[in-house]
Structure 1
Amino acid sequence: MNAKLKQGLVQVYTGKGKGKTTAALGLGLRAAGHGFKVEMIQYLKGSSYTGELFSTERLPNFNIKQFGKSCSYAAGIKEGLMDCQGCGDCFVSQTEDKEMHQQFVDWAYKYTTKVLQEEARDIVILDEINNALRYDLLTVDQVLDLINLKAEETELILTGRGIPEKILDKADLVTEMKAIKHPYQEQGIKSRRGIEY
């Protein structure tokens, strides 16, 4: 299939509820099924064991690139020897080395710019890009530049909690995930293989 979008829009999945990355992955899977080329760029997520990394390896037109700190337990989790420990090491925190995270964001931003300029992907997902904003590793103007860089036929999806108003104003579709109930808070149930990762 040689599919091409007639009109690409800007979508945002935000809010404190679960499902932002999951929604973006679902859209990417649907698009890949129609022959569209999908690129997911994960900001400040790195070498963690998540099912989507291995699912998309089987899809020639769905690529995921991670730019972030790796998970110490990834090999054991992948082999089914252990579950996610919930340590949070694979996510950025305020107490960590900002220079290391800045380098990851700089690489992700450079790669995103290249992907958008090539105009070879139909769907581009910037997963958790707002983490880079929240930790002052990226500016709102830089994200707006990426939005302005996208081609007319490219669908651009941004995910993350608390996306700034200026970015929401540029989006064509904004969905807010609202947390009403979560098994971790209600029952202490940690992330589950195949469901949360």
Structure 2
Amino acid sequence: MRKKANHEDRGVTLIETMMAVLIAVFGVFTLGQVLFLSIVNNKNQGGEVTRATIFAQDKMEKLLSPNYATCTQSPATLQPSSGSTSCNTTNINAANWTQGLLAGGQVNPVVASCPTSGSSVGYIDFLDANGLQAPSGGATSCSALTNVPVSYIRMWKVTTLASTGGPELLQITVSVYAQSAVSAPGGTPIVQLTSSISNPN
């Protein structure tokens, strides 16, 4: 008497094996993406954002500290030729680079190299990997930055707010761009701070 074949013991077919392999590969690929994103976020959030926040706060404090009456005068009064140094917030002693607290500037898009014209002139500075302002000494032109490795770019904007009967009020916004941030979305600043300063008189 012949024994009937047991179809339940036939094993795994090639198609079933391939499907299992594809599912495993998809799972490993997804896990790899999660691992990569966690590394990127750790680099950006754990390192770059922390450092950029410190640098933004440092610049904000420097912009809030100059003498209001002196540093809101006419552009000609603030230029290096007039002997003004207390209103220099860029470390560059050149025409149009000593803007003090005059309204102007921009915070985006990022200007990756030293601008020679436009609204960023006098409202931007550059930091090395240690957060030191470049150039280290007062430069007579922005071209001194050509051989300096730049890790962070700080841009700021000063806006005169409409007075409602009180003292004149300025709004200052500082943006920091981290050149070493991984996959920074659309070139947007990694940190942005806003504060206000009023005329004490």
TM-score band w.r.t. shorter chain = under 0.3
Normalising by structure 1, report the TM-score: 0.24
Higher relative contact order (CA 8 A, sep 6+): 1
Normalising by structure 2, report the TM-score: 0.24
